[in-house]
Amino acid sequence: MHVQWCVRGIARPDSDWLNRLFSSAGLVCGWWRARPDGTLPAAEIQLRLDQLQLDLHQNAFYAVDPRFGPERVQDTTPFVSLSAGAVSRETLLHTNVAHRAQFVASEFATDYGRCDGVLVYCWVITSTVPAVPIVGVAEELRDLNSGRAYSAFQLEGEVAAKIEVPARQLYAYQPVRRIGLRYETGSAVFNPRFVSPDPLSEIRSFL
């Protein structure tokens, strides 16, 4: 087990939502966000935290959910996408290339430079082995040593949290946008209730 710092890019954030982010439940999954009454049926959580749902989340995010549809996976997923970056082996140049978390998140947050967004910095607990049914442990989808199934999206460096990333684990958010030919980040807004992972051991940066 270790603590993993991550970044999440959010495009066109609603200002009310952003203002309440640090006093809310935190970053919540699409399933929770899409619930009309804003509540989550706790008993159903265990039904959704399985390998099939994780595969759909990673590889078919915009497809109709075959089990919990007719909504699309983005509105039924119990997972929260975060990026911690990834390294690819580029054999054509005999070099390893880092795909940094802040780059991946910036492209998501700005829709590849088309709009304004925010980068949210947070930490989660992850494991070196898959633990899909365990709510408190995020899945290291980027790590081919533990998750070995092929995914075209592996280089997004995804770490999939489950149900929520509690507000106390959100460090700050930072506006990001493309101005001319530069990605520019604005002043960070820090979470006054942030709880540092410092007392824990095995803390890993994002790339």
Partner 1 sequence: MTSIASAVGYDESELRQRTISLVSYALSNRDLRFPEPEPSVERSAGYPIPPNTNMVSAEAAMAMAGAASCALALDQRIGVRLAWESAKLYAEAGQPYAAFLLGALGRTDERWTQLAVRVAEGGLGQVDLPGQLFASTQLAYLGLGAALGDAPGVGLRILSMASAAMAVGSSQVPLDLIRDFVVVRIAERRERGDSILARYLVSAIAQGQVEAQRMPHYRRLLPWNVGLPLDSILLLTHALPAPTDRPDEPASRDDREDFGELLTSVTDEIRRATENLPEHVREPLEVLLGEWLG
Residues in the site for partner 1, rule: CB under 8 A? 3, 5, 88, 90-95, 97-100, 102-103, 106-107, 110, 112-114, 121, 123, 152-153, 155, 171-172, 174, 178, 180-185, 188, 190, 196-198, 200, 203, 205-207
Q: Which is nearer to partner 1, 17 or 112 (CB)?
A: 112
- Position of tokens 């399985």? 50
Q: Which is nearer to partner 1, 3 or 49 (CB)?
A: 3
For the CB of residue 74, give the shortest distance to partner 1 in the complex, in Å. Answer: 15
Burial class (CB in 10 A: 0-12, 13-18, 19+), 189: middle
For the CB of residue 106, give the shortest distance to partner 1 in the complex, in Å. Answer: 7
Distance CA 163, CA 11 (A): 20
For the CB of residue 174, give the shortest distance to partner 1 in the complex, in Å. Answer: 5
For the CB of residue 103, give the shortest distance to partner 1 in the complex, in Å. Answer: 6
Q: Which is nearer to partner 1, 42 or 62 (CB)?
A: 62
- Position of tokens 């899409």? 34
For the CB of residue 111, give the shortest distance to partner 1 in the complex, in Å. Answer: 9
The percent of the chain in helix, strand and coil, each rounded to the nearest 5, is 25, 35, 45
Q: Which residues pair with 8 in a beta bridge?
A: 120
Q: Which is nearer to partner 1, 35 or 114 (CB)?
A: 114
**Whether the Cβ atoms of residue 31 and residue 38 lie closer than 8 Å to each other:** no
**Whether the Cβ atoms of residue 160 and residue 147 lie closer than 8 Å to each other:** no
